[in-house]
Amino acid sequence: MSINPDPYSRISPKLRGILQKKDVFFDVHCHIFTSKDVPDGFLGIRVPFDQRFLKFLEHQLHKIISKSDTDKLSNLAYFIEFFRSRSSEETAEKLMGYYPVKNFVFCPLMMDMAPGIKGKIERDYDEQIEKMKSVRDEFPNTILPFFAADPNNPKVLQNFLKVFSDKEDYKFFGVKIYPSLGYLPSHPELMNIYSLCEKNKIPVTAHCAGASVHSSKKTIKDISGFHYVPGQGFVEKTITKSFKRKKDYANFFNHPRNWIPVLEKYPNLKLNLAHFGGDNEWKDFLSGKTDTWVETIMDLMGKHPNLYSDFSYTMYHPGIAKKLKSMVMENDLLASQLLYGSDYYMIVREGHFKAMKNNFIELMGEDIMKKVAFENPKRFLFGS
């Protein structure tokens, strides 16, 4: 099985032509999975995601808060409207409708939640891969699929080789990592995968914010990879650990410093630490706290030119976005390593997609948007 090291070999000839001549608007962080693709423990509700139930729930939520439609419950109803969508095609088309630009390209990030989250699932990960391929085939000039690599899935390497092989016609584009599902970024199986990604210029996007999604196990066995030990640095070992709150999963698995051993071993790996730490870390950072994830990420950016960070989801917050803009204007490094991503449709839990996206784009202005939605993502996705 061989992988072609040229990222352009993984896209349609038409998109190749467009990228050579024209500006493209990239949204590097989106989701088009539906309720069929995730275990029924996902929303923390212990009932199956039956279409009728979701419709009922959405309806009830709208009724409870009929006076205002911008509060939390209503946003949850709005989220469920996407989530219970019958097909990924429908969700993808809806997203394209939100971007009335000529050449729009987006990266749907897959999620393999079954190894980390208990519950029944309608479509297993192998089927989701086939499904993603058919959605991409329907929109070949718009979609660059990111394959979810979960080292707790025994078929992770086999599937990775399949979707990137130049003998097969999957030709997926990047890799998605979600540590709080129960593994460290430096898991040995993932290290093998990064080595292939580095060699073949495959970009990797990793969730780097709170653990809004995390393993449903309270005690996780055999957590292998490089563990950060205060006073000692990184120690390679395998441990068993118990977790109580969301924050415990986030701090242990999603902390950006977990990527240091990876970046040291694979300095040419193209990595995107998604969400730039997330809104809570940004609030801490803005309040003057030190040692926040935001600082850790910026510090790592200074050392690793192939490290990027997208502002998906976090962009919903106008105050944080304003601060980001002033930082981008002062800091060339940040200006060249920041990526535009929306986290469609996860972000709709914070408000209406169109309004949040347009406000952010308007606030950043044309010059910054050209960098973060075109120049930087083009380097992240297609550069060496």
Q: How far is the CB of 111 from Zn ion (least distance, A)?
A: 8
Q: Closest Cα to residue 144, out of 293, 272, 302, 328?
A: 272
| Burial of 250 (C-beta count, 10 Å sphere; 0-12/13-18/19+) | buried
Closest residue by beta carbon to Zn ion: 343
Q: How far is the CB of 273 from Zn ion (least distance, A)?
A: 12
How far is residue 88 from each of residues 128, 182, 334, measured CA to CA in Å? 10, 26, 33
Q: Which of 16/349 has CB closer to Zn ion? A: 349
How far is residue 176 from each of residues 28, 147, 325, measured CA to CA in Å? 11, 6, 27
Q: How far is the CB of 119 from Zn ion (least distance, A)?
A: 20
Q: How far is the CB of 190 from Zn ion (least distance, A)?
A: 18
Measured in degrees and rounded to the nearest 5, phi and psi for residue 256 equal -60, -25
Please give the size of the binding site for Zn ion, defined by CB under 5 A: 1
Per the listing, tokens 């990027």 go with 308
Q: How far is the CB of 176 from Zn ion (least distance, A)?
A: 9
Show Cβ contacts of residue 216 under 8 Å, excluding neighbours closer than 6 positions.
41, 116, 117, 118, 119
Q: How far is the CB of 109 from Zn ion (least distance, A)?
A: 6
Residue 27 engages Zn ion in binding (rule: CB under 5 A): no
Torsion angle defined by CA atoms of residues 153, 256, 27 and 69, in that order, rounded to the nearest 10 degrees: 90
Q: Which of 74/342 has CB closer to Zn ion? A: 342
Classified as helix, coil or strand, 164 is: helix
Q: Closest Cα to residue 344, out of 2, 22, 89, 32?
A: 32
Q: Which of residues 313-352 bind Zn ion (CB under 5 A)?
A: 343
Rg over CA atoms, the chain? 20
Q: Which of residues 134-153 bind Zn ion (CB under 5 A)?
A: none
How far is residue 224 from each of residues 125, 185, 189, 198, 350, measured CA to CA in Å? 23, 10, 10, 21, 35
Which amino acid does the sequence have at 146?
Answer: F
Q: Which of 198/343 has CB closer to Zn ion? A: 343
Q: Which of 3/148 has CB closer to Zn ion? A: 148
Q: Which of 189/343 has CB closer to Zn ion? A: 343
Q: Which of 40/343 has CB closer to Zn ion? A: 343
Q: How far is the CB of 236 from Zn ion (least distance, A)?
A: 29
Number of C-beta neighbours around residue 326 at 10 A: 9
Q: Which of 27/343 has CB closer to Zn ion? A: 343
Contact residues for Zn ion, defined by CB under 5 A: 343
